[in-house]
Amino acid sequence: MAHDPLRIAPLMPERSPLEAHVLMPIHAYRLVSPDSPPAPEMLWEWEGPSIDRLLWDAKTFGREVVQRSFADWDAFAEENRRIWEIYYLPRPAYQPWDTWQAWVRAYRELVRDVQDSAEEHHDRLRNNRRPVRRAV
């Protein structure tokens, strides 16, 4: 008989695979940024592709991935619900932050200056071209 991780110990009443799965602890992960403690808590992730993205993000940007085990799906869902209601729900989907508006203005000025500089440089090159003398 092959090992079945969902199988409950023989002394316990027989359970369906779904019931056994519900009773297994949930291992979840999330990113932590040690450089910015005031950042809002991130939601816990438990699916493979999401965890892979967390690991890539941690490696790329020097963050940490922490693990937590939840007793069951209800505990996992309750913790993510708490995080969602405290940190994400009160924020509007779009908020015109003053710092964002200032950054956009500065960025547009920078782009305009670079474009003007490039046009001047291109005009200078075009006007300063001289015919090439060929060796006799």
pLDDT, tens digit, 9 for 90 and up, residues 79-122: 999 999 998 887 766 666 777 778 788 888 888 888 888 888 87
The DSSP secondary-structure symbol of 45 reads B
- Residue 135, pLDDT score: 63
Q: Quick check: pTM over 0.85? A: no
| 39, amino acid identity | A
